[in-house]
Copies of this chain bind each other. A is one copy, B any other.
Amino acid sequence: MDDATSTGPAAGDDPDLDLVLERIVSASPEDLWRGWTEPALLTRWFTPTPWVTVRAEVDPRPGGVFRTVVRSPEGEESDGSGCVLAAEPGRRFVWTNTLGPGFRPVELDDGDFPFTVELTFTPVEGGTRYRAVARHASAGTAAMHAEMGFHDGWGAALDQLLGVLTAD
């Protein structure tokens, strides 16, 4: 864990619909941006162990692909083709699983639910305020995502990302 951990709504968030992970980390905004947008880095941290990310494809511009193929401990693979919505290098990265490349709508698999992730990397003394918000269409899917372990999972993945950035 880094210096501080807090979760909660901020301006523009909806506490009934959004899940928030916010932490002050020692990595730079530029390195966090690289970790999210360079496939060779993304595959090393995106899924908390024992899950693994076997493939990633990222075109960090609006309409570009954000695709990850993840593998469960049982060896089952899941291919998620998402779309980049906003990309401000070193500052902000937004993507959704409801669209694919070129903003084309995606048919979600049974059991999947639509969400949008907004990441912001704000420079602060000694590092970065890392903020990940998952936005949902309904309180029901937000609650389901929370019960699936959003905070622990995204926190563990962030720890992995920080480990990858330190190792490099």
**B-contacting residues of A (Cβ < 8 Å)?**
12, 14, 17, 62-63, 85-86, 94, 96, 98-99, 102-107, 114-116, 118, 135-138
Contact = CB atoms under 8 A, between A and B. Distances in A.
Copies in the complex: 2
A86 B152 CA distance: 34
Contacts of A12: 102
Contacts of A104: 14, 17, 116, 135-137
B137 A105 contact: yes
B62 A106 contact: no
A79 to B, nearest CB: 15
Residue of A17, A62, A103, A138 with highest tally of chain B CB at under 10 A: A103
